[in-house]
Structure 1
Amino acid sequence: MGKSKNATLTLVNPARKGPPITFGNPMTTFALVGAGEFKSVGTTCGAQLMPRKKCKLTVQFGPDSVGPKSTTLTIFDNAANANQVIPLSGKGE
């Protein structure tokens, strides 16, 4: 119900040197609430992100019904502040 929309997240390893950020397997999960309407549709990220490098993760929102929708995206990694939890929201029309 409604059009799908994509959003691209840029992941950055801001360290000047040192070990890479290593991503988990799986790299991401969505919280159970609203998870069916959000999905990962592509990434340029490999298993690791070297210092001073970036990669992208694309997520898609495809509402099943009208109204506001939300979930959280968790990116599993070994960064100093691991893991990354990102709120996602959209509106089905």
Structure 2
Amino acid sequence: MESEFDSPQIFGDGPENQSTNVKWSRPAPPDFNSKKDALIFQQLDIDHYNGQPLQGMPGSQLGPIPIMRMYGVTMEGNSVCCHVHGFTP
């Protein structure tokens, strides 16, 4: 006997969901060399958090520092999350 307190049924990634997954999935990222390749993306959202400074990054090297987090997508459709050091909001 079913009641309103029964647990909801959980659905997986079966064949009924494959067309949705294919439609919205991102392509695999290409090989990237930060010393010679440029990362160009359209920024869609931004937020920030406090974190510890990293040696070699611009900005303060003392205490917790603000780190900007930029979210976006490349022209090829790859998702991007970029952590920006050396900028104070």
- TM-score (norm. length: structure 2): 0.28
Q: Which protein has the bigger helix share?
A: 2
- TM-score (norm. length: structure 1): 0.27
Which structure is richer in relative contact order (CA contacts within 8 A, separation 6 or more)? Answer: 1
